[in-house]
Structures are given as structure tokens and as C-alpha cells.
Amino acid sequence: MANPFQIDMSPETPELLAIAEKELRETPENRAKGLAELRDLLKKNSDLNYTDDEEFLVIILRVCHWYPESAIKLLRQMAEFRKEHEKVLKDLMPEQEKIPFTEGGIINVLTNKDHKNRRVLIVNNGEIWDPAVVSSDSMFRMFYLIHIMAQLEKTTQICGCIVIYDFEGLGMKQIKAMTPGTIQRLLTFIQVAMPLRLKEVHFVKQPFIFNMVWSLMKPFLNQKMKSRMHFHGDDMSKLHKFVPPEYLPKNYGGTMPEINYSGKDWFSAIEGHNDFFAKYKEFGFKK
């Protein structure tokens, strides 16, 4: 039996490539043109430090629908973000966040993909999260590491991912840890500096006090991201309109078994790609 806690490194299937053509403009012609033009733009943007390996450029061009001008803009935004938040991201490697990953119980990834072949990230922002043990900075670094790892999956490059934010038991301890600065950092990253297709964000089990969190988030959201956010409370049937129950665990009204794994189970998969993390931490502006 295949290990469910592994990155899906399988190549693109004809079905995946058909989705890429339909949704991302990915054709042999656009691919060749996009790669050539982006390599030329990288040479012209001589202050940037990124590999021009095809594997990496495809990641960027896919999220930009194979428009090279959009891709170089994204690369510059990624570099600006890393520069602005250098204190949090400098030389970041998985080992630095091993304890939060393995013991925090906050961030998890479903072992199965959903009905649209998308990865599903679970973020426990409620009572499970103890900010005294796992800081907001640490939580962001974990999110950042996971987004790097997800880029390696061809299916995720093409089909994207979704996030389920679980706010069960949310209290003032967690709300106080979610400052305007930490929320702005996360939303800026997601909206302008993340080379992944984030298709949906679902908020579940949020109590009334969540309104305080939402009031902090709204000023930093663009219209595109707002349109992808959905609020379900305890009514999992609302979530099932987006993700059928047969693709969800019992925790969210699904027919799959209750989640009995965590970031601890996933951590070896993250460590298994340390070479990519080591390369990635050098990306951005030239020093």
C-alpha cells in the first residue's frame, strides 16, 4: 500500500493536461513561447535571483495562465514579500518548525484530494491552537513551507488547492494572537505572492466571536479573494455544496473516517524535499 503521507510526484496525465489547456491556456505553443519569454525577462530583471530551470518556471507560468509578463510580475512580488518579511522567512527550512508541525496539531493536509483533484489544507485556529506554544509567526512559517512543498505536485499546480479554517472553540486567547499585522501578512502573501491556485477558503465551526476576526480581515481583502471565501458555521451541508461528503472526513460531516493523523505524520514528507527548500530560500532579490 502506498504511503498516504507523501507528495504526489507523478507526471501529468492526459486528463490533467486537458484541464491545463482549458483553464490555464496550456498548449505546446503557449508553453514554448511562455518559457522562452520568461527566461528573457529574467535576464532583463537582473536584480532577481531565480532558477531558470523549466520545472520551476512551469510552476510560475501555470499560476499566471502562461502569460510571461504576469509571471515576472509575480516573481517580483514574491521577492518583495520575502524582502519585507525577511525576519520571519530568512533561511527558513522545515527543521526550524519541526516541533510546531509535529506537536502543535494546528496545520494538517487531508491524505486524499477532493473531487476536483485539489489538495485540502486544514487549519485549526480554534481552541486547539495555543499561541503561547505556537506563535503567529510560527504558524505563518508552517503555511509558507507547505506552500513550497505543494508546488512540487503537478496536480496541485494545475487543479489548485482549498483551505478549511476550523474555528471550533475560538476564544480571546486566539483572537489576541491574530493581530492586524499578522493577518495583513498572511492575506498579502495569499493574494499577491503565492504561486499556487487557491480556489476556495472555507470557514467552519466559527462562533459568534469570529466576527472580531472577520472585522480584522476585511480591510486587507481584494474582491477576488472575498468571492472565494465561504462561511458555514456548524452547517456542514453548506460545505458539502463545494466538496461532496465522500471526499471529507467525519469531522466535517463527511463519509470518510475521522481524521486520526496530523502534521507529525506529514513531516517526513516535508523533510524529504529539503533540497527544494534549500534552493527556494535563496530565491528573491540578489544579495
Q: What range does the domain containing 219 cover?
A: 96-275
> Where is the domain boundary, 35, 60, 84?
84
Domain shared by 228 and 148, yes or no: yes
* CATH number, domain containing residue 124: 3.40.525.10
Domain shared by 124 and 170, yes or no: yes
Structural domain contains residue 6:
no
Residue 257 has what pLDDT?
A: 97
Digitized pLDDT (tens) for each residue of the chain, 287 residues in all? 478 999 999 999 999 999 999 999 999 999 999 999 999 999 999 999 999 999 999 999 999 999 999 999 999 999 999 999 999 999 999 999 999 999 999 999 999 999 999 999 999 999 999 999 999 999 999 999 999 999 999 999 999 999 999 999 999 999 999 999 999 999 999 999 999 999 999 999 999 999 999 999 999 999 999 999 999 999 999 999 999 999 999 999 999 999 999 999 999 999 999 999 999 999 999 98
Residue 2 has what pLDDT?
A: 73
Domain shared by 139 and 255, yes or no: yes
Q: What residues does 109 pair with on adjacent strands?
A: 121
Domain shared by 125 and 216, yes or no: yes
3-state secondary structure the chain: CCCCCCCCCCCCCHHHHHHHHHHHCCCHHHHHHHHHHHHHHHHHCCCEECCCCHHHHHHHHHHCCCCHHHHHHHHHHHHHHHHHCHHHHCCCCHHHHHHHHHHCCCEEECCCCCCCCCEEEEEECCCCCCCCCCCHHHHHHHHHHHHHHHCCCHHHHHHCEEEEEECCCCCHHHHHHCCHHHHHHHHHHHHHCCCCCEEEEEEECCCCCHHHHHHHHHHHCCHHHHHCEEEEECCHHHHHCCCCHHHCEHHHCCCECCCCCCHHHHHHHHHCCHHHHHHHCCCEECC
| Number of structural domains in the chain | 2
Residue 145 has what pLDDT?
A: 97
Structural domain contains residue 285:
no
Residue 1 has what pLDDT?
A: 46
